[in-house]
């Protein structure tokens, strides 16, 4: 199996699930993601300072909560900023893809995809 990108923990869970089900699987992640790829982690290079990062997190979480109450920073708090041509994964920040209410996302998910 080849994945374009993904977090190491998710890749590990996929391999474990395949083993549990008795499915032979070799998984290759082309662009593996780590904690530094979580938008608001302390290791993130997206912001110049802790204060800037925390301010941005508050804004993203506030708007994200209006869009996805359970996961305002992406599924399982992944805080991903991954965007594909056709869609965004559910671990991406909802402010990037969710078009609920009057929110106009930069990368809206297309219905039926």
pLDDT digits (tens, 9 = 90+) for 47-84: 999 999 999 999 999 999 999 999 999 999 999 999 99
Strand partners, 7: 33
Q: Which of 29-43, 83-97, 99-113 is the least confident region? A: 99-113
In whole angstroms, give the CA distance from residue 104 to residue 70.
20
Confidence label for 86 from pLDDT (cuts 50, 70 and 90): confident
For the chain, domain boundaries? 34-97
Q: b/e per residue, 43-61, with b = 16+ CB within 10 A?
A: ebeeeeeeeebeeebeebb
Assess contact for 74 and 108: CB atoms under 8 A.
Answer: no
pLDDT at 112: 57
pLDDT at 25: 96
pLDDT at 66: 95
Measured between its terminal Cα atoms, the distance across the chain in Å is 21
In whole angstroms, give the CA distance from residue 58 to residue 26.
39
Strand partners, 33: 7
């Amino acid at each position: 199996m080849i994945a374009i990108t993904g977090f190491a923990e998710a890749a590990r869970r996929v391999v474990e699930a395949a083993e549990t089900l008795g499915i032979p699987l070799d998984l290759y992640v082309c662009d593996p993601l780590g904690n530094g790829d979580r938008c608001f982690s302390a290791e993130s290079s997206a912001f110049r300072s802790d204060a800037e990062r925390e301010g941005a997190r508050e804004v993203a979480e506030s708007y994200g909560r209006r869009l996805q109450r359970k996961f305002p920073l992406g599924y399982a708090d992944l805080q991903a900023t991954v965007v594909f041509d056709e869609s965004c994964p559910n671990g991406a920040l909802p402010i990037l893809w969710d078009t609920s209410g009057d929110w106009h996302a930069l990368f809206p998910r297309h219905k039926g995809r």
